[in-house]
Amino acid sequence: MAVLSSLMFLLLEMFLEGSASYSVSGLYRGVWYQPVEHHALLGQSFMNISGISAVRCSVRCLSHHGCFSFNYDHTNQVCQMNNASAEHDCDNFQEMPNVSYYDATAKPMSCQNGSVSDNAPVNTCLGFEKLGLEDGSIPDESLSASSNWEGRDKSTAAGGRLNKTSPNTLIIGAWCPMVSDTNQWIQVNLGYSTYVTGVLTQGRYSGSPQWVTKYKVQFEPPSPAYLVDVKDQLGQTQIFNCNTDRNSIVERRFFKPVLAVKIRIVPVEWNVFIALRFELLGCQ
């Protein structure tokens, strides 16, 4: 019986993979999936499957008695199966760039509190827009740091903007702390809740060969107000490999977007001394 069941779902996967529609009504349990683009049900996942399509994810959810809905991360091809539907947990149904929510129900998906309905507008942001460090949309007073170099030449947190240059020999074209250790950080206050999906980094504009080679990212969610590490697909603190020279721009994306009011970059390893210029990616 188990072999027959496995064969049935293998054939179902093959059929759906070649189908233009994600509807599976009448094929199994009489349900179909209705996608809501750029949304996800948070906090209800009990299983993640990497490297499969949304169609195969729907089949896996159908075959699991505890799966009522799933989120599908199109960027990372991750299927996240949920043990609830948004209909029963509307407070945790939120906008999420590059993610689609699929609900295994036979009626239009809606939330009782009116926050989302089948006719609600969705966030069309692709999730990889620059958030305003490089062009100055984020003001200088929104940047802070653990410390700033104050030798013959000086550094400020505002000097840490991507592609920042040095106006003279007394100003460093980067953020540099007073000491190089793993307790140093530079932070951006975004001013409001923002989806952040990645970081662009550079080293020092000119002078000494200084740049960061590895860093981690921390963020403060809208509530409660405390810093959380950005995690990888295994749920561990993600360490990002970055620069190997002063001026090349290195892009690193998070495993999944984070909703943050503040973002903190914490250098973990560096060449000669910590020196960093950066930009954030996400949805404004």
Structural domains counted in the chain: 2
| Range name among 3-17, 184-198, 220-234, 249-263 with the lowest pLDDT average | 3-17
148, 156 in Cβ contact below 8 A? yes
**One domain, residues 265 and 187:** yes
pLDDT, greater one: 34 or 19: 34
**One domain, residues 70 and 23:** yes
**One domain, residues 76 and 143:** no
Q: Across all residues in the chain, what is the average pLDDT?
A: 81
Using CA atoms, how far residue 12 sits from 9, 51, 74, 133, in Å, is: 5, 18, 21, 48
* Tokens 């662009």, located at residue: 200
**One domain, residues 76 and 182:** no
**One domain, residues 159 and 94:** no
Q: Classify residue 257: in a domain, yes or no.
A: yes
Q: Classify residue 233: in a domain, yes or no.
A: yes
**One domain, residues 96 and 178:** no
Please provide residue 243's backbone torsions phi and psi, each rounded to the nearest 5 degrees.
-80, 155
Q: Classify residue 28: in a domain, yes or no.
A: yes
**One domain, residues 143 and 219:** yes
Q: Classify residue 122: in a domain, yes or no.
A: no
Helices (H) and strands (E) in the chain, counts: 2, 13
**One domain, residues 192 and 140:** yes
Instruction: Return the structure tokens found at 274.
Output: 């910590």
Q: For 130-186, what is each residue's pLDDT tens digit?
A: 999 999 999 999 999 999 999 889 999 999 999 999 888 889 999 999 999 999 999
In degrees, rounded to 5, the angle at the alpha carbon of residue 62 between the alpha carbons of residues 61 and 64 is: 65
Taking the C-alpha atoms of residue 257 and residue 82, their distance in angstroms, rounded to an integer, is 18
Q: Classify residue 113: in a domain, yes or no.
A: no
**One domain, residues 73 and 189:** no
pLDDT, greater one: 258 or 157: 157
pLDDT greater than 80 at residue 232:
yes
Instruction: Return the structure tokens found at 165.
Output: 């240059």
Range of the domain at 97: 2-105
Q: Classify residue 189: in a domain, yes or no.
A: yes
pLDDT at 131: 95
pLDDT greater than 50 at residue 270:
yes
Through-space distance between the first and last CA atoms of the chain, rounded to whole angstroms: 52
In the chain, alpha helices (H): 2-17, 54-62
Q: Classify residue 111: in a domain, yes or no.
A: no
pLDDT, mean of residues 249-268: 93
